[in-house]
DNA sequence: CGAATAGTGTCTTTTAGACAGTATCCA
DNA sequence: TGGATACTGTCTAAAAGACACTATTCG
């Protein structure tokens, strides 16, 4: 509560992005090599400070998404706030973390500002002990866990795919993000019976090897029913 | 990214609390009558600014929880960040919202600072058009939705109960938060079969009317398997 | 005894999971 | 033709939902 002469302390506000995508059937996150202190030369999540007093937080996240990864119109949601008093040696910096999901991309990161942007397998950071700057490991852990959880009861998986996709492409998303193997036949039935999850995108087909598959696009529904249960 | 002479803008950081509890088998939220401008006299979620530059954000939330509601050791989790540039007429105020779950309480709000603290049925704000200050209606909506979702696949429901509770008390939590009626017999089976959800708390019993019920306490598990499915 | 709540059993329908078999492409 | 992937069908076991019934308390 504001009382009397006391003045509330102010903080610097930043945004950080966990940008996930699928590459070679594995989950990758975009990391940037830092060009300035602190943690100069180390890898970190893309992000930055609010540009000015009037910039909305999500707008800042979208701006960084565009500037650092060349991405527009992708799924974006807030993960949480990271504000431990000592998390940044420059002073009291509070960071709002966002989760972004990018569909399959051409090999290089298109339209990038930052020189050292690179897609890194999530496993390398989570299981192998690869280092990242600040508290970005924790932010990544929380972002990946958010994605895993939302695959269960929302249609988020379609955000990893392009405009249209086959059912086995969708299955690859679940397998990569959850780190499990799924039976394609049961996955088929499951996905088709989830109301509004996917809808057929014309009678077109696409091929690379074996029988061509039907194409689908994301359905109208956000919340999945029945959910895709990740058996524990 | 920090560049050259440019200086990042700073913001005021606040916390707001959605404190939920059950009263008379209905979901209630704690509101405070504001004693100062802006919105003087209006009802608002409890909350306030960070006390000083070194206070952790969650610590500020726990401090407000104690000062404004007299609550300690209750479930507390972050909901999200609310930072629209124009959400507070005093300037750029970014608020971190927290969800707190209080067990059944004695009628008055114990140990309260704020004079006008009152438990309000959530329905009155969500369905009936009761007004609240700032963007607190949206924060409440998000907090309640979070609670509803977490009841499905976590053991959060036990946080609404006291140290020990009966199965029908637990059922009341689900019914009040979800706003549905559940079959007590199937609920029984369901809850008992969810591994680690509840454990018997001795052979004691409690009574008020009808046959006495067994007492349980919260089990060791946080994530529910199988989940409590809220049929849509 | 009846009213009220606690707890068990049982039946039916739905869903998950395993897996056989057919279809359609390419080389 | 064989190899590969797409898709369909079928069986079994588990879980969800409906609901009859018994148990234990109070007054």
Domain-embedded: residue B230: no
Whether A94 and A170 share a structural domain: no
Q: Count structural domains, chain B.
A: 2
Whether A22 and A51 share a structural domain: yes
Nearest CA in chain B to A45: B1
Structure tokens at A29: 């996150």
Domain-embedded: residue A21: yes
Domain-embedded: residue B142: yes
The residue with tokens 């009040």 is B176
Chain B interface mutation, best of A50, A56, A69, highest count of B Cβ atoms under 10 Å: A50
Q: Is the dihedral of CA A78, A88, B54, B49 positive or negative?
A: negative
Residue range A119-143: mean pLDDT, rounded: 96
pTM, two decimals, is 0.93
Residue range B143-161: mean pLDDT, rounded: 97
Whether B87 and B189 share a structural domain: no
What per-residue confidence (pLDDT) applies to A230?
A: 85
Hits for CB < 7 Å against strand D across B residues 163-192: 183, 185-186, 190
Whether B182 and B135 share a structural domain: no
CATH number, domain of B180, equals 1.10.10.10
Q: Is the pLDDT of residue A111 over 60?
A: no
Structure tokens at A48: 């930055």
Domain-embedded: residue B223: no
Whether B97 and B160 share a structural domain: no
Q: Tell whether B1 is within 8 A of chain A (Cβ).
A: yes
Highest average pLDDT, of A133-137, A198-202, B2-6, comes from: A133-137
Residue range A102-108: mean pLDDT, rounded: 73
Q: In terms of pLDDT, which residue wins out, B4 or B189?
A: B189
Domain-embedded: residue A4: no
Nearest CA in chain A to B78: A80
Chain A hits for B3, CB-CB cut-off 8 Å, are 36
Instruction: For helices B167-178 and B136-153, give the axis angle rounded to 10 degrees.
Output: 140
Q: How far is B36 from chain A (nearest CA, A)?
A: 8
Residue range A46-74: mean pLDDT, rounded: 96
The residue with tokens 């969810």 is B194
d(CA B146, CA A67): 32
Q: Tell whether A72 is within 8 A of chain B (Cβ).
A: no
Q: Tell whether B5 is within 8 A of chain A (Cβ).
A: no
Domain boundary among A103, A120, A147: A147
Hits for CB < 7 Å against strand D across A residues 159-188: 166-168, 184-186, 188
Quick check: A101 and A74 in contact, CB under 8 A?
yes
Per-residue H/E/C for chain B: CCCCCCCCCEEEEEEEEEEEEEECCEEEEEEEECCCCCCCCCEECCEEECCCCCCCHHHHHHHHHHHHHCCCCCEEEEEEEECCCCCCCCCCEEEEEEEEECCCCCCCCCCCCCCCEEEEEHHHHHCCCCCCCCCHHHHHHHHHHHHHHHHHHECHHHHHCCCEECHHHHHHHHHHHHCCCCCHHHHHHHHHHCCCCEEEEEEEEECCCCCCEEEEEECCCCECCCCCCCCC
Domain boundary among A147, A165, A189: A147
Q: Judge: B35–A1 Cβ closer than 8 Å, yes or no.
A: yes
Chain B hits for A57, CB-CB cut-off 8 Å, are 81, 83, 94
Q: Is the pLDDT of residue B11 over 70?
A: yes
What per-residue confidence (pLDDT) applies to B56?
A: 97
Domain boundary among B95, B129, B147: B147
What per-residue confidence (pLDDT) applies to B3?
A: 47
Q: Judge: A85–B1 Cβ closer than 8 Å, yes or no.
A: no
A147, A1, A154, A232: which is closest to B35 by C-alpha? A1
Per cent of chain A over pLDDT 70 is 94
Quick check: B122 and B144 in contact, CB under 8 A?
yes
Distance B178 CA to D27 C1' (A): 35
Segments forming the whole domain that contains residue B183: 154-218
d(CA A82, CA A63): 20
Which member of A2, A52, A78 has the closest CB to residue B81?
A78
Structure tokens at B12: 């005021």
pLDDT band at A2 (very low <50, low <70, confident <90, very high): very low
Whether B165 and B60 share a structural domain: no
Structure tokens at A183: 């039976």
Q: In terms of pLDDT, which residue wins out, A209 or A180?
A: A180
Looking only at the bridges linking them, the beta strands covering B26-33 and B10-23 are antiparallel
Q: Is the pLDDT of residue B111 over 80?
A: no
E-strand stretches of A102-232: 117-121, 164-165, 198-206, 213-218
- B217 forms beta bridges with B164, B199
Nearest CA in chain A to B152: A153
Domain-embedded: residue B99: yes
Whether B38 and B81 share a structural domain: yes
Q: Tell whether B36 is within 8 A of chain A (Cβ).
A: yes
Chain B interface mutation, best of A3, A6, A8, highest count of B Cβ atoms under 10 Å: A8
- B94 forms beta bridges with B13
Domain-embedded: residue A110: yes
- Cα torsion B179, B181, B185, B186 to 10°: value is -70
d(CA A76, CA A79): 10
Mean pLDDT of chain A: 91
First to last CA, chain B: 45
Q: Is the pLDDT of residue A3 over 60?
A: no
Smallest CA–C1' separation from A192: which nucleotide?
Answer: D7
Q: Tell whether A196 is within 8 A of chain B (Cβ).
A: no
Residue range B122-145: mean pLDDT, rounded: 96
Whether A173 and A139 share a structural domain: no
Q: In terms of pLDDT, which residue wins out, A232 or B183?
A: B183
B210-229: per-residue pLDDT in tens? 899 999 999 999 999 899 98
Per cent of chain B over pLDDT 70 is 94
Structure tokens at A73: 């119109």
Q: Tell whether B232 is within 8 A of chain A (Cβ).
A: yes
Mean pLDDT of chain B: 92
Hits for CB < 7 Å against strand C across A residues 4-43: none
Q: Is the pLDDT of residue A120 over 90?
A: yes
C-alpha distance from residue B30 to each of A24, B130, B158 (Å): 50, 14, 19
Distance B205 CA to D25 C1' (A): 11
Quick check: A100 and A74 in contact, CB under 8 A?
yes
Domain-embedded: residue A224: no
pLDDT band at A148 (very low <50, low <70, confident <90, very high): very high
Strand D: positions under 7 A of a protein C-beta atom = 3-10, 15-21, 23-26
Residues 6+ apart with CB under 8 A from B207: B213
d(CA A11, CA A50): 11
């Amino acid at each position: 509560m504001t009382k009397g002469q006391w003045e509330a302390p102010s903080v610097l506000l930043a945004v950080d992005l966990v940008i996930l995508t699928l590459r070679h059937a594995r989950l990758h996150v975009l990391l940037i090599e830092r060009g300035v202190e602190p943690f100069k030369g180390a890898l970190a999540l893309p992000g930055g400070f609010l540009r000015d007093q009037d910039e909305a937080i999500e707008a800042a996240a979208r701006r960084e998404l565009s500037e650092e990864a060349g991405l527009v119109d992708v799924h974006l949601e807030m993960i949480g706030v990271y504000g431990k008093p000592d998390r940044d040696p420059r002073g009291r910096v509070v960071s709002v973390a966002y989760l972004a999901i990018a569909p399959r991309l051409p090999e290089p990161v298109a339209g990038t500002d930052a020189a050292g942007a690179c897609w890194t397998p999530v496993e390398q950071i989570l299981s192998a002990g690869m280092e990242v700057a600040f508290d970005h490991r924790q932010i990544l852990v929380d972002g990946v866990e958010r994605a895993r959880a939302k695959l269960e009861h929302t249609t988020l998986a379609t955000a990893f795919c392009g405009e249209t996709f086959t059912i086995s492409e969708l299955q690859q998303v679940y397998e990569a993000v959850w780190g499990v193997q799924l039976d394609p036949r049961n996955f088929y039935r499951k996905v088709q019976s989830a109301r509004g999850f996917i809808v057929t995108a014309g009678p077109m087909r696409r091929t690379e090897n074996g029988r061509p598959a039907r194409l689908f696009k994301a359905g109208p529904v956000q919340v999945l029913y029945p959910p895709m249960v990740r058996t524990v």
